[in-house]
Chain A
Amino acid sequence: MTLIKTTYNRRSFLKTTTLAGGGMLLGFSWLASCNPTPEEALAMPEEWFDINAFLKIGDNGIVTIMSPNPEFGQNVITSMPMIVAEELDVDWKNVVVEQAPFNSEKYTRQFTGGSQGIRRGWEGLRMAGASARQMLREAAAQAWQVPVEETSTEAGVVHHKASGRSLGYGEIASAAAQVPVPEEVQLKEVKDFRIVGTSRKNVRGREIVTGKPLFGVDYRREGMLFAMIAHPPAFGLKLKSVDDTAARAMPGIKDIFTIKTYKEGYEKGYFDTDAFPELVAVAGESTWQVMNAKKALNIEWEPIADSTETLNVFGNKQTVHIPAGRENTTDHIAEMEKMAAGPGEAPRRDGDPETAFQTAAKVIERTYSAPFLAHNCMEPMNFFAHVTEGKAELAGPTQAPEIMEQTLSARLGLPLEKIEIHLTRMGGGFGRRAYGHHMVEAALISQKVNAPVQLFYSREDDMTFGIYRPTYQITYRAALDADNNLIAFHVKGGGIPEHSVFPDRFPAGAVDNYLAEAWKIDSNITIGAFRAPRSNFTAGAEQSFLDEVAEIAGKDPIEFRLELLERAQNNPVGENNDYDPARYAGVLELVREKSGWGQEQPGVHRGLSAYFCHNTYVAQVLDLAIENGKPVVKRVCCAIDCGIVINPDAATNMAEGAIVDGIGNAFYGAMSFKDGVPEKTNFDTYRLIRMNEAPKQIDVHFVQNEIAPTGMGEPPFPPVFGALANALYKATGKRHYHQPFLGEQRMLG
C-alpha cells in the first residue's frame, strides 16, 4: 500500500450528520428529474451521511459521488467518480454520480481544459475515497472494539476476519461521519484496482439517449425570459447607434437596450477575450420572438480606433495591441509570408545551426499553414442568469467557473460569495467555453430586465463572434550530412496573432544543431484555446516534415524517429527537452506492431504520425484509399501512452472522436474573412466532417503501465493531421502543406 499525506483543509471535509436528503450539496435540484429509469433505479436511502465534499453514504449503502469538474463530453463525470469509488472500495453498481456545484472552498481546479482534469485530480480523488474508507474502518473497529488494522474492506463492506463480523458501509456511515479525518491514508496498489482500468458506461448515458434536460439551453426557471445579442457584423467595427422602434413593437418583446460587457478601465483576464464588448440586447418571451425582433433592429456600426489594452494573464501583465481596420484572409497570407522572411525571436538555440546548414550535404525546407477555425460547439454559447439585489445566480455550460466568477464579481460589483454558478452539462467545449463574455452578458441583461434570463446565441452569432483558433504558418529546415544523418533542425513559425512554436519539443534534444524562432502579427480578430492549442497545427506540420525528411534520407519513417529518440534518450542535447524519449518510442513501437507496419495491402496508402502534448504520447498509422477519385480513410490505428487508463472504453471513445475531428478539420476546416466579416456563418458553408467522411475503422491501443494517469481530451487530436497528410502523399504523390487539404486552396497574396 502507498501511504500518502492528505492535503485537504478542514472545509473539504465538512461533516454533517444532521443533513438528511443531502440537500446542502445539491444546488442543482432541477437535475433531480433526471433519475434513472424505474427498472434500474436504486432504492434511495432514508438518510445520507456526508463523509467529505466528494461523497456521501446512504443508510442503505448507496454512495453518492460528486464529480467536481465541468463535463463537456470527456466523460470525467464517470471517470472521476470511478477513482473515488476505487479507493472507497465500493461496488460501482451502488454508486450514484452527481455533478458537483461550483464551490472553490470544497473543490480545487474545477476547470475543464488542457487535458488536466484526470492528471491533476488523480491524487485528490484517490484521497477522498481512501480517507472515507479509512473513516469507515475506524468506525467499525470502534463498534467492534478491535484494532483498526485488523479490519479490511471489500465492495462496500467492512470485515473483521478474525471474528467473522462485517458491517455494510451504510450501517456504519453515521458513525464514520463522526470520525476525525485521517492525517494520512493508505492508497491501493495498482494491481488491486477493480474499478479503475475497467470499462464503465457513461453515467449520463440513459439521460442523454432519452432527451432529459442536461444542457445549458435546457435550463428553465419560472418567469424566465429569453434574450439574444446583436454584435458587429465585422471585426474592426463597433456599435454606433441603434433604432429599435420596429423591434420594440413586436409581440413578446420585453426590452431592448445596449450593454457594455466590461467597465471602463477594467483589466481583462486571460479568458475575458471579447472583440465586441458593446452589444444590443433583446429580451422577450420566446426564442422565436426574440430572433425576429433582432432582425428588425436598425443598427449603425462604426470603425474601431487603434488601441492597446493590458491583459492580466494570471498575474503577468501583457500589453496587447489591437489594430484598427477590417482584415482580409488574402492580406493575412501575404503578411505572414512577409513576416516569415524577416527576423524572429529565438527562444532556443543548440550548437551552431548556421554553420551546420552551410556545410550540409542536403538542406530540406518546407512551409506549412492553416487557417482560422471556429469551435462550432453543437450547443451554441448560452447562459442563464438571475441577478437580484446583492446576488447573482448563473447556470450553464462553462469550462472555467472559477475564473469567470472573478470577472462577474468585478463587473457586477458583487463579492465572490454572492455569485453562484451552477454547472450544466456542456454540448461541446473544445476550449471555447473557457471564455465567458456571454456569462457577463447574461448577468447584465438579467440585471436590466430584473428577471431570470437565458441568453442564447444563434449558430450565426456563435460562429461569427470570434475567439477562433489562430491562423498559423511555420517553416521547417533540416540539414542532412552525406550519410543522411540529421545534423541540424530549424523551426521558424508565426501566426495571427500568436505563433505555434514549442521550442523544447521533439526533435529538440535529438539534434546537435537546433534553432527555434517565432514571430507574430497583431490582429483585431480574437482568438482562443482550441482543442490542443498550437499543437493542433504544429503536430501536423512537423510530422509531415519529418516524413519528408525521412523519405529524402532513405529511411523508414518509424525507424527514422526511433533513431532520433534513441539519441535523445542516451545523449540528449540541451536540458529542457519537453518529452520522455522512452515513452515516445514506446507508442511508435506499439503502433508499428498493432498496425502491421510493413505489411501494406495493395491500394492502401499509409501515413504515420506521432506527437507528445498535454502529458500524453500518441502515435497513429492512417490507411487511406482512393475510391471514385476521392480519399477514403479506411482505418486509423492509434497507440497511446496516458499512463493508467481509468475507463478504457471511454478513453477509446475520446481517441476515436479526436481522430474524426482532426481528419475533418484537416480536410475541410477553415474560417476566412473579407473586410473583417467572417465569411462562414453556419453549417451550410462551414464544412464539418460527417459520417460518410469519417474513417471506416479506428483501433485504439494503450501502453500498459502503472504511471499516474494523464489526459485524453487533446493528445489524440493533433497528430492525425500529419498521419492524414502523409497518407495523402503516398496515395497521390502530392504533399499537402496548407490546410484545409480538400475543398479550398490557399490563395497566395
Chain B
Amino acid sequence: MRHAQILKNCSVIFFNSNIMANFTLNINGKKQQVDVDPNTPLLWVLRDHLNLVGTKYGCGIAACGACTIHLQGVAVRSCMLPVSQVGNQAVTTIEGLSENGGHPVQQAWLEHDVPQCGYCQAGQIMNAAAFLKANPSPSDEDIESAMSGNICRCGTYLRIKAAIKSAAAG
C-alpha cells in the first residue's frame, strides 16, 4: 500500500511497465483489490481484472466516450485514467448505475428504444446520467454540448437526445 500511496500522490505518467502494485478500489460500492501495473487505465482494470465488461473500449484516447464511468459522480473517460490516480474515489460503472436498469436515464433509453448495435450506449448513459445530475433541466443546446464527446457510429443521436429530455422531465 505504501507504494500505491506514493503513486497516488504523483501525477507523472510512469513509463516503466514492469512495476506491479496493489490497489484497493471502491467500485460500485464494493472494495476491490487488484495487483496491476500502476499505469494501467481503469478501463482495462475493470474489463480484464474485475470482469466488469459493460464499460467499453472505443479509442483509447478519450475521443469517443465509450469508456465513460463516474468518478465521485463525475463522468470520466476510463481509457486514459491510470488506476494509480483513482485512490479511494467512488467509481461507478454501468453495472452499478442502478439495480436492474431502474435509473431514470436507463428507463428513458428503453422507452425511446435508443440502441442499434448498443456498443456505445453504456458510455452514453453514464455521460447523460452525470450530466443530468449537474443540469436537471437542460436545453437542447445543453444536451448537444454535453453529449458531443460521445460517438454513436450507428447514429442514434436523436433518440439519445429525446431520451435525455424524457429523463429530465421525469
Contacts and interface: CB of A to CB of B under 8 A. Distances in A.
Given A656-B159, A691-B160, A697-B158, A75 B63 contact: no
A244 interface: no
Contacts of B115: 73, 202, 204-205, 208-209
Nearest to A204: B118
Interface string A51-92: 000000000000000000000111100000000000000000
B44 A215 contact: no
Interface string A412-439: 0000000000000111111000000000
Interface in A665-690: 682-684, 688-690
B100 interface: yes
A727 interface: no
A38 B54 contact: no
Given A37-B101, A379-B119, A427-B118, A210 B154 contact: no
Contacts of A72: 117
Contacts of B158: 656, 660, 694-695, 697-698
Interface in B12-63: 17-18, 20, 36-37, 39-41, 44, 47-49, 51-61, 63
Given A287-B44, A657-B156, A210 B147 contact: no
A641 to B, nearest CB: 22
Given A657-B155, A660-B158, A690-B148, A210 B117 contact: no
B92 to A, nearest CB: 11
A683 B59 contact: yes
A463 to B, nearest CB: 10
Contacts of A427: 56, 117-120
Contacts of B20: 251
Given A251-B17, A378-B66, A683-B64, A653 B145 contact: no
A174 interface: no
B8 interface: no
A201 interface: yes
Interface size class, chain B: 35 or more
A286 B49 contact: yes
B91 interface: no
Given A692-B148, A695-B158, A213 B117 contact: no
Contacts of A38: 100
B78 interface: no
Interface residues of A, number: 68
Q: What's the dominant secondary structure at chain A's contact region?
A: loop
B53 A220 contact: yes
B53 A459 contact: no
Contacts of A202: 113, 115
Q: What's the dominant secondary structure at chain B's contact region?
A: loop
Contacts of A689: 155
Contacts of B40: 286, 288
B88 to A, nearest CB: 22
Interface in A191-236: 201-202, 204-206, 208-215, 217-218, 220, 226
B157 A691 contact: yes
Contacts of A659: 155
A94 interface: no
Contacts of A39: 100
B151 A657 contact: no
A287 B17 CA distance: 13
Contacts of A289: 17, 37
B13 to A, nearest CB: 12
B113 A211 contact: no
B130 interface: no
A249 to B, nearest CB: 8
Given A201-B110, A209-B106, A209-B125, A660 B155 contact: yes
Nearest to A427: B119
B112 to A, nearest CB: 9
A379 B106 CA distance: 21
A689 B157 CA distance: 10
8 contacts: A202-B115, A210-B94, A288-B37, A428-B119, A458-B60, A459-B60, A661-B154, A682-B63
- State the 7 A-B residue pairs at the shortest beta-carbon distance, nearest first: A211-B54, A660-B155, A427-B119, A73-B117, A211-B94, A73-B116, A37-B100
Interface of A: 37-39, 72-75, 201-202, 204-206, 208-215, 217-218, 220, 226, 250-251, 286-289, 292, 376-380, 425-430, 458-459, 649-650, 653-654, 656-661, 664, 682-684, 688-692, 694-698
